[in-house]
Amino acid sequence: MDGLAAFLLARFAEDKARALAATQGNERYPRWTAEPNMQIEEGCLCLSCFEPTESWDVYPIDGPDCSDHQCWHTMTIGEADARHIAHWDPIRVIADCDAKRKILDRWKETAPTDSPIGCGWPDARTQEIYETLTDEVLPYLALPYADHKDYQEAWRP
């Protein structure tokens, strides 16, 4: 199972690196939002002339010096795609990676030990946690990465 743990740690690190790259390396921002793309009637400058279009804009919010969104690129796509992308903003992905990493940390903490004093687990509960994580949790954490070249079919739950 150490191979599966190493595989998972590598995938979580890759996911987090991609998310950090999308936040320009700063975990504090951005949250992303999705809003209907607005179209203005030609020659009109009043707010009543704005009309929603069929497309949606996705863009980061709360970034540095970006109150007017001029420093961010806007992505214009359909509503369902826009809402999905905004939902999985970099901050959420980073939090997800960190939470999954903590599950692996817990798995390592409960691993059996080999020492001159004794081997195995300090108590039955620790053994139960380790075995549950090994048999039931880690394989499911790996399932979203089943299309990765290093994924092993033996890990499939």
On whether both 108 and 151 belong to a single domain, the answer is yes
CA–CA separation, 99 and 12 (whole Å): 10
pLDDT at 16 over 50: yes
As a whole number of angstroms, the distance between CA 20 and CA 29 comes to: 9
Which amino acid is located at 117 in the chain? I
Does one domain contain both 115 and 135?
yes
What total number of domains does the chain contain?
2
Same domain, residue pair 13 and 39: no
The answer to pTM > 0.85 is no
CA-CA-CA-CA torsion for 107, 113, 118, 121, nearest 10 degrees?
10
Q: What is the DSSP letter of 134?
A: I
**Residues in a beta bridge with 113:** 120
Contacts of 12 (CB under 8 A, 6+ apart): 97, 100, 101, 104
Give the pLDDT band (50/70/90) at residue 69: very low
SS3 112: coil
Q: For residue 5, what pLDDT is reported?
A: 94
Domain around 62 = 32-88
**pLDDT tens-place string over residues 95-153:** 999 999 999 999 999 988 765 555 678 888 888 999 999 999 999 999 999 999 999 99
More confident residue, 65 or 2: 2
Are both 75 and 98 inside the same structural domain? no
150 and 101 belong to one structural domain: yes
Q: What is the pLDDT of residue 133?
A: 92
**What distance in Å separates the CA atoms of residue 155 and residue 34, rounded to the nearest whole number?**
37
